[in-house]
Structure 1
Amino acid sequence: MKKWMITIALLMLAGILLFVFISPLKSHKAVSQQDLRDPDFLDGKDILLYVSTSADQDAFGGGKSYALFISQDGTLSSFKMKGLELGSAKVHGDSVMLEDKNTIFTIENGLYSYKRTYQHTGDSAGFLQNTDGFYTLYNSGYDKKGDGYRSELYRQMNGEWKKDVIPCYIRASGFHDGAIYALVPTDDEKGYQLLQIQADQKKLTYQTITEWQYREGASIESQLAADDQAVYVMVRGQKASNLYQMVKFNKKNGKVELYDIAEYKNDEQTIYSSMPFSFKKSFFSYHGSLYFIDGFGKVYKIDAKTGKSRIAFALSPEKMKADFKEITQKGSSLYFFTYTYNQPAYIEQYSLKTGKKVKEKEIGKVKEIVTPKSHLKLYDFEVMKDF
């Protein structure tokens, strides 16, 4: 009898050990291009993260990036690519765009890849309704022929990728209604020109809307937000180093207005901590208001017409301590992704209307990809479906 009980106990222990060692493999799967060619690959996928090494890692041949697809049940699929600092991953409906230093990938009823000129630094990406395709913009560096700085724009038109060159450095960019807006330095580098780049037509055209002279020491703290009337950006140091202001560029008459948004204690540590943790996504337009999320997780709601602002709500103070933080807006929701090394990752959903946390989801296997030795940084975060 004792031998029989011991046998049963050993079998139970073996089952537990098998579950412990096998179940993590089920919840994290490394996928290949062949897997992405499956027309059903995106089914059930809710979240997309893009992590990559920085450009200096590529100098030694160690650059890499991953697209992390997270399913409804919390399982994670990782697709490995080459690196691209500040690269993007974008979602539109049932299609996805990914990129690395040499290739643009699109997933829609299968996988399509486009080999393009080497890029070392991304800027922004999005979707053009009129051409029914993605675009992606790069700060490409100085031309080898000595013709000056160039930024390269790739657009999907009639299903094919088209390359255009914008002959300037882009400090910040944004997109609205078929146009890409870009802040580029003036010739004397004492100000910025605001360009409107009409990207949804076959021939790329751009024009200068206005110029803005900034005070020495002032810094751009966000990408651009835009609506039908104006283009907006967050700056610090124009009036004082501890004051964030919103710059409003009127599209029709070129008028430039500044509004005080957030003021902090004037000491070095507080000023540093107040800086947005997401340059790409800390500032956006939604239903007649602008939203700005600072380094403390405070969410400011700004009236687009008057520039008046108030703190609408705050992100979880505990989650703000995480090693990795990123936000994304979809409809009336703000999603907040956090991850600390060797711990589960989390996504919190907040209502922009009420400021209340609606939902929270735990993701266990990000730690298998993003480790302290991986040198990976989080560069993009997209919600594919409501989770």
Structure 2
Amino acid sequence: MSFKKITVFIGIVLVLLGGIFGFRHFKTTKTSAKTNLTFQDIKKKDFLHKQQAVLYASHTTELLQEGKGSGQAIFIDEDGNARRLRLDGVESGSTYYHKKKLYIEDANQIFLIGKNTNKQKMPSELRGIKSGYLPATDQFYSLYNTGFSTKYDYKTSIRFGNSKEKRFHVSQVPSFISGVGELTDRLVVLTQNLINDHFSLQEVFLREKEAKVIKLTELPLKHPSNLDIISPIMADKNSYYFVMTDYQSEKREDLSLIIYNRQTKETEIKPFISYRSEEQVDNGLPNNFNHSSYLYKNHFYYVNGLGEVYRYNCRDGKIRKYLNLEFESTANHKLEQVRFQNGRIHHLYSDEEGNFFIETYNLSSTKREKLQKIKMNGLIPQNDKDYFLTSIEILN
């Protein structure tokens, strides 16, 4: 081949390679532009109306502390397309939606989306516990495992604020909080003494820029060091309800339903579920302790990591397995979430091929009303062992 032909050939190859690189770069940039959201995007008046759900995902605290981790709020529209708002992640982070207002937590700030959209810088927090809303006081809040302190054995930080005032505050509870529930105007928390392991129920009022804590009772639980709460605290006018687990071995675990009577101040401990196989014990823990239970029409519902929904009748005390969600033993359960809302249970899961789906069951009929494939657009790193989906919120 002549020198001239070689030169022409090399030139053609370089042009083709440049074209391929340019096309891929253009395609990647275009895809990135489609999937990445800004604060200005989510501020638009009709943005939330077009979304059916929002997910929270983040790396673990260790990576976040090293500056190697990140988080994101993933919005899924009515057609199942996913887009993300990049965040400074919070381990076990979450969102909360109430009457067209969406609250999003970030390690260094909060976002409030809706009629009074704003964001506010906050002291840094990395270990989330739960986010929620108190309707009587119009307060969104987030709880954080801040850690040991010189003044208290342990302290839990709270961010809270009124959406109309557009101002959020920070306060502390001088206890280790194991579980959380809500009344209309206060939090109900299960705290644990880290010296003697005893559990106590306490109420937390978010007033005048600080948290006021009132102890209700110390629970008469045997061998408290063996117990863990694995559900939120649910409340009706008569009682508080929550689930605790007693892990005994890789093939044996017993769950109890704890019922605290608000009038008599007495505590009832009911045997709830027993696991007697390695598979049950390995997969039985809920995907999200904050959203594993629900009170609806005088029934207490609980969903475990196996997709089994149990129902307790608050009137006659009967317990039964009520329905089964989709469960794939080969799926990535770090990227699975459930949420009870509006008389339904919503379940986000993936299959062996890494495809994502949302299914919805009606709690009254037990029938599946919806199954939709989600176009996740590569937003979730499925092979990253330090990356978790930690909440799902249904918007519309």
Do the structures match in fold with TM over 0.5? yes
Query: What is the aligned partner in structure 2 of residue 3 from structure 1?
Result: none
Query: What is the aligned partner in structure 2 of residue 4 from structure 1?
Result: none
Q: Does 1:284 align with 2:291?
A: no
**Alpha-carbon offset, residue 256 of structure 1:** 0.6
**Alpha-carbon offset, residue 255 of structure 1:** 0.6
Query: What is the aligned partner in structure 2 of residue 228 from structure 1?
Result: 237
Between Structure 1 and Structure 2, whose CA radius of gyration is higher? Answer: 2
**Alpha-carbon offset, residue 341 of structure 1:** 7.6
**Alpha-carbon offset, residue 59 of structure 1:** 2.5
Unaligned runs of 5+ in 2: 1-22
Q: CA, structure 1 residues 181+140, in 2 after alignment: closer, same or farther (shift >3 Å)?
A: same
**Alpha-carbon offset, residue 319 of structure 1:** 8.1
Task: Give 1:131-280 correspondences, 5 Å limit.
Answer: 131-143=137-149, 145-157=150-162, 158-186=165-193, 188-199=195-206, 204-212=211-219, 213-215=221-223, 216-237=225-246, 241-265=252-276, 267-280=277-290
SS of match in other structure, 1:130: coil
Distance 2:386 2:117 in 1: 27
For residues 116-160 of structure 1, the C-alpha deviation after alignment (integer angstroms, 9 at most, x for no partner) is 1111211111112123231111121123x4543111112213332
Query: What is the aligned partner in structure 1 of residue 4 from structure 2?
Result: none
For residues 162-217 of structure 1, the C-alpha deviation after alignment (integer angstroms, 9 at most, x for no partner) is 22211111011111222211111137423201001123776643211111133142
Distance 2:329 2:292 in 1: 16
Asked if structure 2 preserves the Cα contact closer than 8 Å seen for 1:127 and 1:133, the reply is yes
Distance 2:152 2:207 in 1: 27
**Alpha-carbon offset, residue 37 of structure 1:** 3.0
Q: Does 1:308 align with 2:318?
A: yes
Distance 2:195 2:239 in 1: 25
Number of aligned residues: 367
Q: CA, structure 1 residues 269+77, in 2 after alignment: closer, same or farther (shift >3 Å)?
A: closer
Distance 2:278 2:151 in 1: 40
Unaligned runs of 5+ in 1: 1-16
Task: Give 1:120-135 correspondences, 5 Å limit.
Answer: 120-135=126-141
Distance 1:84 1:62 in 2: 13
Distance 1:126 1:113 in 2: 17
For residues 295-331 of structure 1, the C-alpha deviation after alignment (integer angstroms, 9 at most, x for no partner) is 2211101112443211111112348844421111111
Asked if structure 2 preserves the Cα contact closer than 8 Å seen for 1:210 and 1:255, the reply is no
Query: What is the aligned partner in structure 2 of residue 6 from structure 1?
Result: none
SS of match in other structure, 2:317: coil
Distance 1:329 1:339 in 2: 19
Q: Does 1:358 align with 2:369?
A: yes
Distance 1:250 1:220 in 2: 18
Query: What is the aligned partner in structure 2 of residue 296 from structure 1?
Result: 306
SS of match in other structure, 2:196: coil
Match of 1:70 among 67, 72, 76: 76
SS of match in other structure, 1:131: coil
Asked if structure 2 preserves the Cα contact closer than 8 Å seen for 1:49 and 1:69, the reply is yes
Whichever residue aligns with residue 194 of structure 1, its letter is L
Distance 2:228 2:105 in 1: 28
Distance 2:332 2:388 in 1: 13
Q: TM-score, normalised by structure 2?
A: 0.84
For residues 53-111 of structure 1, the C-alpha deviation after alignment (integer angstroms, 9 at most, x for no partner) is 11011132112111011111222221001111011111112111111211111111474
Whichever residue aligns with residue 317 of structure 1, its letter is F
Task: Give 1:360-379 correspondences, 5 Å limit.
Answer: 360-373=371-384, 375-379=386-390
Q: CA, structure 1 residues 190+375, in 2 after alignment: closer, same or farther (shift >3 Å)?
A: closer
Q: CA, structure 1 residues 99+345, in 2 after alignment: closer, same or farther (shift >3 Å)?
A: same
SS of match in other structure, 2:181: strand
For residues 224-283 of structure 1, the C-alpha deviation after alignment (integer angstroms, 9 at most, x for no partner) is 222222112211228995221101111223211011111222x44432222223222112
Whichever residue aligns with residue 270 of structure 1, its letter is Q
SS of match in other structure, 2:336: strand
Query: What is the aligned partner in structure 2 of residue 25 from structure 1?
Result: 31
Asked if structure 2 preserves the Cα contact closer than 8 Å seen for 1:341 and 1:367, the reply is no
Identity, in percent, stands at 22
Asked if structure 2 preserves the Cα contact closer than 8 Å seen for 1:40 and 1:109, the reply is no
Q: CA, structure 1 residues 131+218, in 2 after alignment: closer, same or farther (shift >3 Å)?
A: closer
Whichever residue aligns with residue 378 of structure 2, its letter is K
Q: Does 1:60 align with 2:66?
A: yes
Q: CA, structure 1 residues 342+200, in 2 after alignment: closer, same or farther (shift >3 Å)?
A: farther
Whichever residue aligns with residue 214 of structure 1, its letter is K
Distance 1:209 1:320 in 2: 44
**Alpha-carbon offset, residue 355 of structure 1:** 0.9
